[in-house]
Structure 1
């Protein structure tokens, strides 16, 4: 059966303390608190800098066995290199420790900058370099440079598929050629709800669906009232059962609330889980 993984993008936010997190809860206990209420988190620190294996190991130890982490790919690859000449940077990313998550490793998110237009050759060249299994990821990681010497994680406890999703932010990606390319590659197109700021694409191109809810009316700020969350729950139900998919096959769904500025994200994620449970999931 397909599974819904619903959670938040990041979990360390000062304004959340004494609001979502109980007053007096120590910072090191925050992830465990999230793990008692949701079944997934999107790690976004990996977007800003290479994390350490010890961090990934600690995070995995703090959540239940059925918890899953999505990992955000480094902005150095997407925003600085802009998907060009990424071999060493990609190796460093996969050597930095995410494979230490073991069975709790979920999809890898690649968020493209809003200034990067659709270029079929450029994007396909990048997607071709992405490892599609943990064993392949180890092979990529072994090509890391000297910056990871002595701190690289170069093993996997089992060979598992590695899923990838791409979030686009330039209007030129509203193009059938983009959807066709992603379908050929088996890479997901992120369904991004961004208060109309960026393209919202619902095309299913992989064996899973990845959703990011950035805010209903104001980016990263506004919450989702029950009627809108109900609409999203209906969409999730369609993807999970297959009724909303072109081939009729069920898809796992990963959903992350990213409207963190006003402490709406965790409450919206928990409510969305409740509404989906009412639909039998």
Structure 2
């Protein structure tokens, strides 16, 4: 048996670090061991990271048996976050998507205790109407099969992301995404008892995607979030009204940009957090 097959990477002070997906050809040259068969890539990745964001579900939900299989290939303590299918967020009337929402959430319940946050991504070009959007939030259940659901609203319409949006998320106890992006709204307002960050600035010319100094700063910010504070060097819309918390669970994903470097960035951040 491989020496990594039974290992796991626990959350560090409630901080989980991961990447988007696990099937990416360049990773077979700089992340996965030489000769590792593709069917074992999830098994390997889930023992080097503490979370993975599943992007494929954005393009189409899977069968419950597939989610159960993914869960079985990962170690205790590991979690997935998942993007909801885009057909839901692209519906003309969001308030009428209840059946689709229930079907998707019913399927991913098969992940059991591996189920982490659920991301509802509204892409650029999708103009939202506040009343319809608020009605959509009413469709998001607080739990499924007795397990709490953590919903994350990733709204990329910059005209919609304002103090009213932040206040609504706080009233509902829903998460938002800190994108650290030049292309999407990037704000670090805390709206609930967990933080969801998607770091999108890795660079190909750096082996670890980010410099050691940059990773040190992200480790400091993650620790600040985990201890209920908000980092003072990030952009905010409405700091006043931040929900009080002694501690928060934190999810940090290295996404997009120089994707080939993201596993190295995630593992380097995990090592930085251990210091």
TM-score w.r.t. the length of structure 2 is 0.84
SS of the residue aligned with 2:253? strand
Offset of residue 70 of structure 1: 0.6
Separation in 1, partners of 2:202, 2:32: 23
Offset of residue 170 of structure 1: 1.9
Corresponding position of 2:141:
131
Offset of residue 34 of structure 1: 0.7
Matches within 5 A, 1:104-143: 104-135=114-145
SS of the residue aligned with 1:273? helix
1:112-154 alpha-carbon deviations (Å, 9 max, x no partner):
111124532122111110011013xxxxxxxxxxxxxxxxxxx
**Cα 1:265–1:216, aligned 2, differ >3 Å: closer, same or farther?**
closer
Offset of residue 39 of structure 1: 1.0
Structure 2 residue 216 is matched with structure 1 residue 230:
yes
SS of the residue aligned with 2:23? coil
Structure 2 residue 171 is matched with structure 1 residue 179:
no
Corresponding position of 1:211:
197
Separation in 2, partners of 1:249, 1:243: 8
Corresponding position of 2:239:
none
Contact between 2:120 and 2:151, CA under 8 Å: does it hold in 1? Answer: yes
Structure 1: 5+ residue stretches without partners: 136-158
Corresponding position of 2:235:
none
Structure 2: 5+ residue stretches without partners: 1-11, 232-241
Corresponding position of 1:98:
108
**Cα 1:217–1:121, aligned 2, differ >3 Å: closer, same or farther?**
farther
Number of equivalences: 250
Contact between 2:82 and 2:117, CA under 8 Å: does it hold in 1? Answer: yes
Contact between 1:2 and 1:251, CA under 8 Å: does it hold in 2? Answer: no
Q: Which moved more, 1:209-218 or 1:264-273?
A: 209-218
SS of the residue aligned with 1:125? helix
Contact between 1:118 and 1:172, CA under 8 Å: does it hold in 2? Answer: no
Greater helix fraction, Structure 1 or Structure 2 = 1
Corresponding position of 2:247:
250
SS of the residue aligned with 1:13? coil
SS of the residue aligned with 2:96? coil
Contact between 2:199 and 2:255, CA under 8 Å: does it hold in 1? Answer: yes
Contact between 2:154 and 2:176, CA under 8 Å: does it hold in 1? Answer: yes
Equivalent of 2:188, from 189, 202, 205? 202
Equivalent of 1:41, from 25, 41, 52? 52
CA RMSD of aligned residues (A): 2.1
TM-score w.r.t. the length of structure 1 is 0.83
Contact between 2:202 and 2:262, CA under 8 Å: does it hold in 1? Answer: no
